Amino acid sequence: MQTSARLVIIGAGIVGCSTAYHLAKLGWRDVLVIDQGPFPRTGGSTSHAPGGMFQTNTSKLMTGLAHYSAHLYESLRWDDQPCAALVGGIELAETPERWADLKRKAGLGRSWGLENHLLTPDECKARIPILDQRKVLGGFFVPDDGVARAVNACSAMAREASAGGAVTFQGNVTVQDIEVVDGRVRAVVTDQGRVACEAVLCCAGIWGPRIGRMVGQPIPLMPMEHQYTKTEPLPELAEWAASEITIPLLRAQDHASYYRQHFDSWGIGNYRHVPLPVEPDAILSPKDAPVMPSIRDWTPEHFEEAHRAAINLFPAVEGRALTYKINGMFSFTPDAQSLLGESQVARGFWVAEAVWVTHGGGVGKVMAEWLEAGEPQLDVHEADLHRFYPHHATSSFVRRRGKQNYLEVYDIIHPKQQMEEPRNLRTGPAHPRLVEQGAAFFETAGFERAQWCEANARLLDGRNLPGRDGWAARFWSPIEAAEALHTRENAALYDLSAFAIMEISGSGALPFLQHMTTNQMDVKPGRVVYTNMLDRRGGIVCDLTVARLAADRFWIITGGGVGPHDFAWIRDHAPDDGSVRLEDVGGKWAVFGLWGPKARTILESVTEDDVSHQGLKYFHWKDITIGYVPARAFRVSYVGELGWEIYCPMELGLKLWDTLWEAGRPHDLIAAGMGAFDSLRLEKGYRGWGADMTPDDTPLEAGLDFIVRWDKGDFHGREALERQKEQGITKRLCTLTFEDPDAIVLGKEPIFANGGERAVGYVTSANHGYSVGRTIALGWLPVEHSAHGSKLEVEYFGRRFAATVQPDVLFDPEMTRIRV
């Protein structure tokens, strides 16, 4: 075996092969792909997958990757046969809830540009000859869903990647260790010898955690047993026996099963059983288990229910023998997303893990482009390897969430649905007080935050607030409305202790930050600056508040959910010459937002410091004492009212909360939750990173031109942004409102123009704006539809609501309520 390579890819499953194929296309040479099993049928998950590809996904990223993969596989040939059969995919509804959800899903698919149709039971029957159509209410049909011939696709991609010697594939080689020197990968040690290399890409699937351990990089995934079976030939399918697959791929999520045709046999896969996790260390090697790596054979007790359900839908299956049965395994992560990126523990150690065949083709392209450019070439934040907090990577958490995600894989999941366990992992000092207020807790990155407080139900009396029903009313309370209005009319205290804070210090701190941000960082200590960080494409990677604490010391503040992602980006780009120190200090600081027209009266009653408009100006911070608590007050407001974000050491947090609470009593101060917070920020047009804008969007497109300081000199991403400034933008993040006062949307719905069938854009986030008396949606639109007054339609569960593009800021655009 060769003794050196530029890149060693561990694993020749769909992900390893696809990455090698795309690297070869980019002109890479000297790439070695090794697998412990015989290549191409390696014994990994790819060799067991029936290859079903349903593209529609709540994630735009995953839908795009699936679309690319399906068409890539179809374009590849092996044995004169395409490596995918895009025969269409149908999701069946057996319950009214599912049928309603499929209508929602049809909208979601259109938001991401996928053609789809809703089918009547008879139309389903016309496509699925053995279906008992009386059992279904309808189907959701995507014409270019289908089935991948995954092993063939691996072979075809390997053949093309090897042509000309760019990539070498080597089976029956087991990686035993990875050498890391001075924090960088140097070599891979195998049972066939040592391979010196510049980088390693781990595509080891369910074995990933074992490989990660070799370099100290947690790979939080849980291998789960998963069975698949085929019936003996069915006479009812005799007419279809000549072709491997012509009948659309099927899933019946109401009983967590999926089906496909194999000539005249019927394939059945199911998730309808207790989850069966397998510890990565217990997985057998292909040498010990040549057919499959699982720890045991088929377990009939985990198939009984699915079998009954299959017979119910497809009576032809009854009494037929199951002639092929496999108990394979594949990976589930804590949030059911993939794991992509480069380790920060061992540089040069890259990860592409927890990927389905459905997305493998696209993930290979993403990884190849990322390796080539040093930055991802599209928004992959949902799959970012660094999105987790340490508690997410513990084996207990990974096991618990992996099991739950297996169970829920086909469930109808509300966008605000809360995980039931594990909960109460991260709590702030005000948590007991919020419990006393009857808070409905929603978690973000493990942190428990109040969404609303039942104690505020009293505020509903005498108010005529917009109601909600059905789907929109779930995980929502009218109390959110009362809290939002009370903030505008009186004052409210918000617990924001989930915020992530990074302290950046050292002689190189200012130049580093100047280079990484769009706004001017060379401001006087005491100033606060709102800024973006961009990738080289000009895309928004981080959306931050920066406070200059001293000449050489800054705080970077970002949302709790995105903290690990943002800080990984910052660490990744920081100089390693010792001139810049980075410290994640979020866990040390409690943060409370005190906002509303009465906020100053309240604060002045418990501080001797000057917190007047002049004493602590807008977008400035200052250390003050509140009662007995030394605190740091930031004069900023995400809700659009006078007030401060107030920071104090975590251990003083409860005292600070109680001090402000007591001071607020005479002024009807309430504790408010994130539901109100979200509504208030939408009225102000404040964007949320991750939902409203991502690395696929630039500040010019997002309406954030005002935080790009062209006169500050060069900054990361400037070149691309300059180009866009010259050429002009083609899309714009817009604020929309609805003519129908009862209209409600929740996010990700498609936007249509002129009654058209193809979506021109999609909603990113939405909520009632209680002060403006309308539902507000932010959404992406092509520039030609982005002018104020443009008339559009937003589809929600199959119903279209007339919507109008408005100015970005609907409430107090002159900022008269904040700058007082």
Letter for the amino acid at 522?
D
- The residue among 486, 477, 417, 488 whose CA lies nearest residue 452 is 477
Which positions from 179 to 218 touch ligand FAD by CB under 6 A, shown as an x/- string? Answer: ------------------------xxxxx---x-------
Q: Segment contacting ligand FAD (CB under 6 A): 37-45, 366-374, 422-430, 508-516?
A: 37-45
- The residue among 677, 648, 710 whose CA lies nearest residue 497 is 648
**Closer residue to ligand FAD, CB minimum distance, 92 or 760:** 92
**Closer residue to ligand FAD, CB minimum distance, 367 or 708:** 367
Candidate residues 133, 358, 545, 765; the one interacting with ligand FAD per rule CB under 6 A: 358
151 binds ligand FAD (CB under 6 A): no
Candidate residues 7, 10, 491, 810; the one interacting with ligand FAD per rule CB under 6 A: 10
Instruction: Dump the DSSP string for 634-668.
Output: E---SSSSSEEEEEEEGGGHHHHHHHHHHHHGGGT
Q: Segment contacting ligand FAD (CB under 6 A): 41-49, 555-563, 754-762, 803-811?
A: 41-49
Nearest to ligand FAD by Cβ — which residue? 13
228 binds ligand FAD (CB under 6 A): yes
765 binds ligand FAD (CB under 6 A): no
**Closer residue to ligand FAD, CB minimum distance, 62 or 237:** 62
Which positions from 253 to 282 touch ligand FAD by CB under 6 A, shown as an x/- string? Answer: ----------------x-------------
355 binds ligand FAD (CB under 6 A): yes
44 binds ligand FAD (CB under 6 A): yes
Shortest gap between Cβ of 244 and ligand FAD (angstroms)? 15
40 binds ligand FAD (CB under 6 A): no
Candidate residues 20, 31, 33, 49; the one interacting with ligand FAD per rule CB under 6 A: 49
- The SS3 call for residue 621 is strand
Q: Choosing from 73, 228, 258, 406, which is the catalytic residue?
A: 258
48 binds ligand FAD (CB under 6 A): yes
639 binds ligand FAD (CB under 6 A): no
Q: Choosing from 145, 254, 379, 543, which is the catalytic residue?
A: 543
- The SS3 call for residue 780 is strand
Q: How does DSSP classify residue 13?
A: S
Q: Is 668 a catalytic residue?
A: no
Query: Residue 340 in contact with residue 367, Cβ under 8 Å?
Result: yes
**Contacts of residue 347, Cβ cutoff 8 Å, sequence gap at least 6:** 183, 184, 185
CA gap 144, 117 in Å, rounded: 11
220 binds ligand FAD (CB under 6 A): no
CA gap 773, 112 in Å, rounded: 30
Q: Segment contacting ligand FAD (CB under 6 A): 101-109, 323-331, 342-350, 556-564?
A: 323-331
Give residue for tokens 């589930």: 332
Q: Segment contacting ligand FAD (CB under 6 A): 48-56, 124-132, 334-342, 561-569?
A: 48-56
- The residue among 559, 560, 585, 580 whose CA lies nearest residue 570 is 580
Q: How far are the Cα atoms of 370, 385, 603 from residue 576, in angstroms, in the given order? A: 21, 21, 43
**Contacts of residue 469, Cβ cutoff 8 Å, sequence gap at least 6:** none
153 binds ligand FAD (CB under 6 A): no
Q: How does DSSP classify residue 248?
A: P
Specify whether the backbone of 644 is left (phi greater than 0), alpha (psi in -120 to 50) or beta.
beta
Q: Segment contacting ligand FAD (CB under 6 A): 45-53, 335-343, 632-640, 665-673?
A: 45-53
CA gap 820, 816 in Å, rounded: 7
Instruction: Dump the DSSP string for 176-235.
Output: EEEEEETTEEEEEEETTEEEEEEEEEE--GGGHHHHHHHHT-----EEEEEEEEEESPPG
Candidate residues 105, 110, 226, 565; the one interacting with ligand FAD per rule CB under 6 A: 226
Give residue for tokens 């290549």: 39
Q: Segment contacting ligand FAD (CB under 6 A): 29-37, 501-509, 616-624, 812-820?
A: 29-37
32 binds ligand FAD (CB under 6 A): no
CA gap 453, 478 in Å, rounded: 11
CA gap 274, 288 in Å, rounded: 26
158 binds ligand FAD (CB under 6 A): no
Candidate residues 40, 51, 643, 769; the one interacting with ligand FAD per rule CB under 6 A: 51
Candidate residues 68, 259, 330, 738; the one interacting with ligand FAD per rule CB under 6 A: 330
Candidate residues 5, 7, 9, 12; the one interacting with ligand FAD per rule CB under 6 A: 12
Candidate residues 5, 8, 9, 11; the one interacting with ligand FAD per rule CB under 6 A: 11
Q: Is 566 a catalytic residue?
A: no
CA gap 592, 669 in Å, rounded: 13
Candidate residues 137, 175, 385, 434; the one interacting with ligand FAD per rule CB under 6 A: 175
Q: Segment contacting ligand FAD (CB under 6 A): 11-19, 402-410, 610-618, 667-675?
A: 11-19
Q: Is 264 a catalytic residue?
A: no
Letter for the amino acid at 644?
W
361 binds ligand FAD (CB under 6 A): no
46 binds ligand FAD (CB under 6 A): yes
Q: Residue 673, Cα to own-chain centre: how many angstroms?
A: 23
How many chain residues interact with ligand FAD (CB under 6 A)? 43
- The residue among 550, 588, 586 whose CA lies nearest residue 566 is 586
Query: Residue 804 in contact with residue 736, Cβ under 8 Å?
Result: yes
In what helix (H) or strand (E) does residue 456 lie, and over which residues does it extend? none
In what helix (H) or strand (E) does residue 455 lie, and over which residues does it extend? none
Q: Which residues are annotated as catalytic?
A: 226, 258, 543
Question: Which residues of this chain interact with ligand FAD, rule CB under 6 A?
Answer: 10-16, 34-37, 42-46, 48-53, 174-175, 203-207, 211, 226, 228, 269, 286, 326, 328-330, 355-358, 360
